[in-house]
């Protein structure tokens, strides 16, 4: 196990423990790969923002729901009036 100070793509500098032998340069390759990725904290923030955006898209606002409900209520009242006049 060896500790590496890695500057991630987001600009954060993080110490990582990279395990394994370094016979074929595995640690260096892992360190180079980590440098191309976001650090853990920035990754969490980014995915959290994405999930909040998806929640906003999926869940309509309360005013939108009220407007739809009002429209459906008016439609139902018109149909009831039509049925009463037909019979």
pLDDT over 60 (residue 67): yes
Q: Mean pLDDT across the stretch 1-13?
A: 91
* pTM of this structure: 0.55
**Percent of the chain residues past pLDDT 70, beyond the cut:** 85
Contact 16, 6 (CB under 8 A): yes
Q: How far apart are CA 13 and CA 10, in angstroms?
A: 9
pLDDT tens track for 18-46: 998 888 889 999 999 999 999 999 999 88
Between 58 and 12, the more confident residue is 12
Closest CA to 20 of 11, 12, 10, 31: 31
**pLDDT score of 53:** 61
């Amino acid at each position: 196990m060896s500790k590496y100070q890695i500057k991630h793509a987001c600009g954060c500098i993080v110490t990582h423990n990279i395990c394994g032998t370094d016979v074929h340069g595995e640690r260096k390759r892992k360190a180079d790969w980590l440098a191309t990725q976001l650090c853990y904290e920035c990754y969490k923030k980014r995915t959290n923002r994405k999930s909040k955006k998806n929640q906003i898209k999926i869940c309509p606002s309360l005013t939108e729901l009220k407007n739809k409900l009002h429209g459906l209520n008016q439609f139902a009242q018109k149909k009831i009036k039509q049925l009463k006049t037909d019979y």
